[in-house]
Amino acid sequence: MPRLHHVSSVRNRKSILTFGPDWTRMGAAPGIAGSRRPEVEGILCLDRSDADWFVRLNNTGGPVDLWAVEGIKLDQLRTSPEGFSYLPSKIDPQHLLLLQQDLHEAADQPAANSRQQQRRRS
Protein backbone atom coordinates (compact mmCIF):
# COMPACT_ATOMS: atom_id res chain seq x y z
CA MET A 1 0.00 0.00 0.00
CA PRO A 2 1.35 3.44 -0.85
CA ARG A 3 2.16 6.14 1.66
CA LEU A 4 -0.36 8.95 1.37
CA HIS A 5 -0.17 12.41 2.96
CA HIS A 6 -2.49 14.82 4.75
CA VAL A 7 -1.90 18.51 5.56
CA SER A 8 -3.69 20.22 8.44
CA SER A 9 -3.37 23.23 10.73
CA VAL A 10 -1.20 22.68 13.80
CA ARG A 11 -4.29 23.63 15.82
CA ASN A 12 -5.73 20.27 14.80
CA ARG A 13 -2.69 18.24 15.92
CA LYS A 14 -4.04 17.15 19.31
CA SER A 15 -7.36 16.07 17.80
CA ILE A 16 -5.63 14.22 14.94
CA LEU A 17 -3.33 12.40 17.36
CA THR A 18 -6.39 11.35 19.40
CA PHE A 19 -9.05 10.73 16.75
CA GLY A 20 -7.23 10.77 13.39
CA PRO A 21 -8.07 13.32 10.68
CA ASP A 22 -11.81 13.47 11.39
CA TRP A 23 -13.74 16.06 9.36
CA THR A 24 -16.65 15.88 11.82
CA ARG A 25 -14.39 17.49 14.44
CA MET A 26 -13.43 20.41 12.22
CA GLY A 27 -13.64 23.66 14.09
CA ALA A 28 -10.32 24.28 15.82
CA ALA A 29 -9.00 25.79 12.59
CA PRO A 30 -10.26 26.42 9.08
CA GLY A 31 -9.54 23.89 6.36
CA ILE A 32 -6.33 24.16 4.37
CA ALA A 33 -8.13 26.28 1.73
CA GLY A 34 -9.56 28.54 4.45
CA SER A 35 -13.05 27.02 4.54
CA ARG A 36 -14.98 26.71 7.80
CA ARG A 37 -16.75 23.54 6.64
CA PRO A 38 -15.23 20.46 5.01
CA GLU A 39 -15.59 20.30 1.24
CA VAL A 40 -15.20 16.50 1.41
CA GLU A 41 -14.50 13.98 4.16
CA GLY A 42 -10.71 14.28 4.15
CA ILE A 43 -8.19 15.11 1.46
CA LEU A 44 -5.32 12.69 1.02
CA CYS A 45 -2.39 13.47 -1.25
CA LEU A 46 -1.16 10.67 -3.45
CA ASP A 47 2.42 11.90 -3.42
CA ARG A 48 4.72 14.33 -1.64
CA SER A 49 4.57 16.99 -4.37
CA ASP A 50 0.78 17.23 -3.94
CA ALA A 51 1.26 17.57 -0.17
CA ASP A 52 3.80 20.36 -0.73
CA TRP A 53 1.22 22.14 -2.91
CA PHE A 54 -1.29 22.05 -0.02
CA VAL A 55 1.38 23.38 2.37
CA ARG A 56 1.93 26.34 0.00
CA LEU A 57 -1.86 26.79 -0.38
CA ASN A 58 -2.26 27.07 3.40
CA ASN A 59 -5.06 29.49 4.30
CA THR A 60 -5.48 28.35 7.90
CA GLY A 61 -4.01 31.51 9.41
CA GLY A 62 -0.95 29.75 10.84
CA PRO A 63 1.51 26.89 10.38
CA VAL A 64 0.52 23.40 9.27
CA ASP A 65 1.56 19.80 9.94
CA LEU A 66 2.39 17.19 7.31
CA TRP A 67 1.13 13.69 8.11
CA ALA A 68 1.90 10.39 6.42
CA VAL A 69 -1.09 8.07 6.15
CA GLU A 70 -0.42 4.36 5.85
CA GLY A 71 -2.66 1.33 5.44
CA ILE A 72 -5.09 2.85 2.93
CA LYS A 73 -5.68 1.08 -0.38
CA LEU A 74 -5.94 3.30 -3.44
CA ASP A 75 -9.24 1.69 -4.43
CA GLN A 76 -10.73 3.07 -1.18
CA LEU A 77 -10.20 6.65 -2.36
CA ARG A 78 -12.72 8.84 -4.12
CA THR A 79 -12.18 11.95 -6.23
CA SER A 80 -13.66 15.30 -5.23
CA PRO A 81 -15.30 17.59 -7.83
CA GLU A 82 -12.05 19.61 -7.75
CA GLY A 83 -10.01 16.51 -8.61
CA PHE A 84 -8.48 15.78 -5.19
CA SER A 85 -8.37 12.33 -3.59
CA TYR A 86 -10.19 11.70 -0.33
CA LEU A 87 -11.19 8.81 1.87
CA PRO A 88 -14.95 8.74 2.61
CA SER A 89 -14.35 7.28 6.07
CA LYS A 90 -12.42 8.17 9.20
CA ILE A 91 -8.75 7.23 9.54
CA ASP A 92 -7.59 5.63 12.77
CA PRO A 93 -4.65 7.47 14.40
CA GLN A 94 -2.56 4.29 14.34
CA HIS A 95 -2.28 4.76 10.55
CA LEU A 96 -0.61 8.17 10.94
CA LEU A 97 2.93 9.40 11.18
CA LEU A 98 3.64 13.07 11.90
CA LEU A 99 6.35 13.80 9.33
CA GLN A 100 6.85 17.53 9.81
CA GLN A 101 5.21 20.10 12.01
CA ASP A 102 4.92 23.86 12.20
CA LEU A 103 5.47 24.34 8.47
CA HIS A 104 5.16 27.82 7.05
CA GLU A 105 6.48 27.05 3.56
CA ALA A 106 6.76 24.09 1.21
CA ALA A 107 7.19 20.84 3.12
CA ASP A 108 10.56 20.20 1.48
CA GLN A 109 11.89 23.26 3.31
CA PRO A 110 13.04 22.59 6.89
CA ALA A 111 10.72 24.13 9.46
CA ALA A 112 12.29 26.18 12.21
CA ASN A 113 10.58 24.22 15.00
CA SER A 114 10.44 20.83 13.28
CA ARG A 115 11.05 17.81 15.52
CA GLN A 116 12.12 14.33 14.55
CA GLN A 117 9.45 12.05 13.15
CA GLN A 118 6.90 10.90 15.69
CA ARG A 119 4.64 7.87 15.45
CA ARG A 120 1.32 7.71 17.22
CA ARG A 121 0.45 4.22 18.43
CA SER A 122 -2.68 3.19 20.25
Tell me which of 26-30, 43-47, 107-111 is least confident. Answer: 107-111
CATH 3.20.170 fits 4-103, yes or no: yes
pLDDT category at 30 given cuts 50, 70, 90 is: confident
Partners of 9 in the beta sheet? 64
CA of 22: how far to CAs of 12, 105, 108, in Å?
Answer: 10, 24, 25
Residue extents of the structural domains in the chain: 4-103
Q: Record the pTM.
A: 0.79
pLDDT at 106 over 80: no
Contact 67, 16 (CB under 8 A): yes
pLDDT at site 69: 95
